[in-house]
A = this chain, B = another copy of it.
Amino acid sequence: MLFMLRIDVTLPPEMAQAEKDRLRERENARALELIGEGVLLRIWRIVGRVANFSLWEAPTLEALHDKIGSMPMFPYMKIDVTPLINHPVTEAADARNGRPPRR
């Protein structure tokens, strides 16, 4: 099952830069783990904002919820979760090109 997430991050202005850096580092490490687990497929940064779109795949909603909540920056995130299905047009294009279905 695929889901598109739109995440906007707001760190409190009073947080020290060192703490922000540490948080960012932990966030990126965790994201790499989630990619390794095949749960987080891709992230795209939104230009000019501290925000991103990301594509997730999860076998159950419980798994998706747990993985989202495991991100160290979760308490600072506003998250919109949109359930997705593949569009017949991209599926047709993959089939025509002999490509395995992509995410």
Whether A79 and B32, one on each chain, are in contact in the complex, defined by CB atoms closer than 8 angstroms, is: no
Which chain B residues border A69 with CB–CB below 8 Å? 48
**Majority DSSP secondary structure for residues of A touching B:** mixed
- Number of A interface residues, CB 8 Å? 47
B102–A85 touching, CB < 8 Å: no
12 contacts between A and B (CB under 8 A): A2-B44, A4-B44, A12-B13, A28-B92, A35-B90, A42-B102, A44-B85, A47-B65, A47-B83, A48-B81, A54-B87, A61-B84
Other A-B pairs beyond A5-B48, A43-B87, 12, CB < 8 Å: A28-B88, A31-B89, A32-B93, A36-B93, A44-B86, A45-B65, A47-B61, A47-B68, A48-B65, A48-B83, A54-B87, A61-B84
